[in-house]
Amino acid sequence: MDAVTEQAVRWRDTLRRRGVGGGIFAANVDPAMAGEVHPLGKLRDHPDEAVVLHYSIWSEALERALRIPRSRLAINYQNITPGRLLEWANPNVAALCDRGRRELCRLVGKVSVAIAASSFNAQELTSVGFGDVAVVPLILPAVQSPSNAPPADKPAIITVGRVVPNKRLEDAIRALTVLRAQLLPAATLDVVGGWNGFEPYRVALGRFAARLGVSDAVRFHGMVGDAERDRLYRQSAAYLCTSEHEGFCAPLIEALAAGLPVVARDAGAVRETLGGAGLVLPVGDAPVVAEALHCVLMHDNVRAALALRAQRRLAELEPERVESMLHAALAPILG
Amino acid sequence: MSTDEPKPALDVDALVADLQARAAERSASGAYDAALGVPFETGQSGVQLRPWIGRSTRPVVGPALSFTKRGLMRLQQPVLIDLASQVSSALARQQARLDAESVRRAELEEQVAELTDRVAKLEADRGHTAD
């Protein structure tokens, strides 16, 4: 399940728990989600019902939403990856992203409620003309048993998310190469996430790792289920995010919950999402990333300080708390 | 969590500045030249629309022809863009397959080289034993 659908499901579930029924409709339904998500054509407008448009790319859903009266329409802006970052690997998706950004302004004045997962996203909405925007972070599962185990002899660094060019995984592979060259020769990198539609990028990354001589140290797991993803988090010693565009980045919080120290590039909403609980680097320069990884892996005091901040950040993002924020934000259309 | 617990102090900005200085020092020594010298190659390919091909340079009637051609192209643009992106995607998929094959072939060649070495060593050992 992609991150946008995942949030739509969590919103639906939390609303149901509070007595608000409803369903999820999409222009393109993944066959694996056929039971959870209904085709957009089946959405019937009813005067007693409200609609939330989860907006992350252009689709027919925008046209459908524009036919809903303002008093019953909300937008949840999930941010849109700039097309230029994706174009070489998938021009079709890039074109839809750019169209999504271009046509976002059509919703100005057409919604009663505007919600964004971060101030970064909210800023983008206000810059195109939206008025009040409520910031409601992503609803993420409660932390079960976070661990803060010291790194093993062969530290595994993990990065989670779609294998798409804006994630700049080439920077992660280069940083791993630098780390292994001088600082931690046994370090490895686990890349967890699917590359459907972005096969050229996956191939280019494999070739790049081979040219750098780290093919054996970089493992591409593809898309995995939650249980396998959590197992990989538990086996890891640090989390790395080299992405150059993020509207929130849920894996950062998952990593904090798993007790991992986080090293991330300062891009989009990353700094805001971490809330001081990770090492945020101004650039994705490989030697600096490698030094930062070495630092969090080898220095207990740094890990301990980051872990303490992580607990504070996780408390701020407790699902019950976020759910209350969501209900307050949606109140104008829920009646 | 107890509020009496001592909190380790961490000045992240100072730490990051320190890491940057250390990285710069090591980079300057040439320690990372091998890792930093390899470019990330995307192998871009694709079909693009080139609207300037509709321009006519004929004297007198050129501007009128250019105007007409551009108008016709504009009318067909959505269809042409769609076709171009379909062709680009197909090319990208083929390129991805070719690249994957290349990677696989390189891996197999490495394995063959490794096995050849092992065979050579085994034969050498056998030769010594026979002596």
- Is there a contact between A215 and B16 if contact means CB atoms under 8 Å apart? no
What's the confidence (pLDDT) of residue A203? Answer: 85
A20 and A137, same structural domain?
A: yes
Which residues span the domain enclosing A30? 3-141+318-334
Rounded mean pLDDT, A223-234: 90
Mark which residues 7-36 of B lie under 8 Å from A by CB. Answer: 7-10, 12, 15-16, 19-20, 22-24, 26-27, 31-32, 34-36
Tens-digit pLDDT profile for residues B39-80: 898 865 555 556 566 677 788 888 888 888 888 877 887 787
A132 and A49, same structural domain?
A: yes
Under the banding of pLDDT at 50, 70 and 90, the label for residue A305 is: very high
Q: Which of A174, A290, A305 sits opposite B8 (nearest CB)?
A: A305
What's the confidence (pLDDT) of residue A149? Answer: 60
Percentage of chain A exceeding pLDDT 90: 69
What's the confidence (pLDDT) of residue B84? Answer: 73
Please report whether residue B62 resides in a domain. yes
Please report whether residue B73 resides in a domain. yes
Number of domains observed in the structure of chain A = 2
Q: Name the residue of chain A whose CA is nearest to B107's CA.
A: A210
Under the banding of pLDDT at 50, 70 and 90, the label for residue A79 is: very high
Q: Is A287 on the interface with B (CB under 8 A)?
A: yes
The chain-wide mean pLDDT, for chain A, equals: 91
What's the confidence (pLDDT) of residue B2? Answer: 43
Please report whether residue B36 resides in a domain. no
What's the confidence (pLDDT) of residue A146? Answer: 57
Task: Decide which of A273 and B100 is more confident.
Answer: A273
Which residues span the domain enclosing B103? 45-130
Taking the CA of residue B129 and the nearest CA in chain A, the distance in Å comes to: 35
Tens-digit pLDDT profile for residues B82-100: 787 777 777 767 776 776 7
A326 and A282, same structural domain?
A: no
Q: Is A27 on the interface with B (CB under 8 A)?
A: no
Taking the CA of residue B97 and the nearest CA in chain A, the distance in Å comes to: 8
Q: Which of B8, B20, B43 sits opposite A308 (nearest CB)?
A: B8
What's the confidence (pLDDT) of residue B51? Answer: 57
What's the confidence (pLDDT) of residue A286? Answer: 94
A196 and A75, same structural domain?
A: no
A90 and A48, same structural domain?
A: yes
Task: Return the minimum-mean-pLDDT range out of A31-45, A48-62, A273-287.
Answer: A31-45
Q: Name the residue of chain B whose CA is nearest to A315's CA.
A: B1
Q: Is B44 on the interface with A (CB under 8 A)?
A: yes
Would you state the structure tokens that stand for residue A223, as one six-digit string?
């898309």
- Is there a contact between B19 and A295 if contact means CB atoms under 8 Å apart? yes
Percentage of chain A exceeding pLDDT 70: 97
Task: Decide which of A107 and A48 is more confident.
Answer: A107
End-to-end CA gap in chain A: 31
Residue A77 above 90 pLDDT?
yes
Please report whether residue A84 resides in a domain. yes
Rounded mean pLDDT, B2-21: 75
Task: Decide which of A108 and B81 is more confident.
Answer: A108
Q: Name the residue of chain B whose CA is nearest to A282's CA.
A: B16
A87 and A21, same structural domain?
A: yes
SS3 track for B81-107: HHHHHHHHHHHHHHHHHHHHHHHHHHH
Rounded mean pLDDT, A218-237: 91
Taking the CA of residue A219 and the nearest CA in chain B, the distance in Å comes to: 15
The set of residues, in sequence order, having a beta carbon less than 8 Å from that of A327 and lying 6+ positions away, is A14, A15, A18, A334
What's the confidence (pLDDT) of residue B46? Answer: 54
> In which element (H, E) is residue A325 found?
helix A319-334
Q: How far apart are CA A290 and CA B63, in angstroms?
A: 59
What's the confidence (pLDDT) of residue B130? Answer: 66
Q: How far apart are CA A183 and CA A179, in angstroms?
A: 5
What's the confidence (pLDDT) of residue B1? Answer: 40
Number of domains observed in the structure of chain B = 1
Residue A32 above 90 pLDDT?
no
CATH no. for residue A72? 3.40.50
- Is there a contact between A280 and B16 if contact means CB atoms under 8 Å apart? yes
Please report whether residue A149 resides in a domain. no
Please report whether residue A151 resides in a domain. no
Rounded mean pLDDT, A260-289: 94
For tokens 């991992």, the residue is A260
User: Which of B20, B93, B105, B114 is the best substitution to test chain A (most A C-beta atoms within 10 A)?
Assistant: B20
Q: Measured between beta carbons, which residues in chain A are less than 8 angstroms from residue B38?
A: 174, 208, 211-212
pTM over 0.90, yes/no: no
A326 and A301, same structural domain?
A: no
Tens-digit pLDDT profile for residues A138-177: 999 865 555 656 566 789 999 999 999 999 999 999 999 9
Task: Return the minimum-mean-pLDDT range out of A32-36, A146-150, B4-8.
Answer: B4-8
Could you tell me which of A58, A127, A122 has the C-alpha nearest to residue A96? A58
Please report whether residue A146 resides in a domain. no
Residue A240 above 50 pLDDT?
yes
One-letter identity of residue B12: V
A260 and A312, same structural domain?
A: yes
CATH no. for residue A236? 3.40.50.2000
Task: Return the minimum-mean-pLDDT range out of A35-44, A247-256, B92-101.
Answer: B92-101
A295 and A182, same structural domain?
A: yes
The chain-wide mean pLDDT, for chain B, equals: 78
Q: Is B77 on the interface with A (CB under 8 A)?
A: no
DSSP per residue over A216-236, as a string? GGEEEEES--HHHHHHHHHH-
A127 and A45, same structural domain?
A: yes
Under the banding of pLDDT at 50, 70 and 90, the label for residue B31 is: confident
What's the confidence (pLDDT) of residue B3? Answer: 45
